[in-house]
Amino acid sequence: MARVLLSGEFDHTLDGKGRVTLPARYREYFSEGAVLVRFQDREPCVRVYHPDEWAEFDGKYLESLDVFASQDDSWTMRSIYRNQDRVEPDRQGRILLPPKRVQELGLSGKVKILGNRTHLEIWDPATLAALEQGEGRDA
């Protein structure tokens, strides 16, 4: 797979079934599927990885965790994988967000999709705006 650097900001809509359309320029890239991850201790959004990109992330950051010797590593791994879902886009390029993610992030109606180099991020626009203005963001 050729490396694709994901960029841009997109206004999209989450439909009543929890589906969001991926940006047109990235639909082909995600045609084989996507890995959705919510990092509970990081930012309040859903990250969307290409399966190959997720495998690279896993190998770089997670494979080295020692889940047998370290409780912290064990809980980190548990948290990441319990908040991960593999999805397949439909013919219109929509992915289904898990209801739990929609609820915990307060997603409804409009959403912002941001390209962040190796992945896309799906945000509630008000949450993103508040964080960009410094509310709740580490200094």
Structure tokens at 97: 């967000």
Is residue 35 situated within a structural domain? yes
Domain that holds residue 123: 9-132
Task: Tell me the pLDDT tens digit for each residue of 71-100.
Answer: 887 887 677 778 899 999 999 999 999 999
- How far is residue 71's CA from residue 76's CA, in Å, rounded to a whole number? 8
In a domain, 137, yes or no: no
| Structural domain contains residue 4 | no
On whether residue 138 sits in a domain, the answer given is no
Is 58 contained in some domain?
yes
109 within a domain of the structure (yes/no): yes
Of 128, 127, 125, 104, give the one whose Cα is nearest residue 12.
Answer: 125
- Cα separation, 17 vs 99, in Å, equals 9
Residue 138 scores a pLDDT above 70: no
CA distance 26 to 121: 13
Tally of domains within the chain? 1
Question: Is 67 part of any domain?
Answer: yes
CATH number of the domain bearing residue 47:
3.40.1550.20
Q: Is residue 92 part of a domain?
A: yes
- List residues bridging with 116 in a β-sheet: 119
C-alpha to C-alpha distance for 42 and 30, rounded to whole angstroms? 24
- pLDDT above 70 for 22: yes
Here the tokens at position 102 are: 């929609």
pTM, 2 dp: 0.89
Residues 113-131, mean pLDDT to the nearest whole number: 96
Q: If you compute the radius of gyration of the chain from its CA atoms, what whole number of angstroms results? A: 15
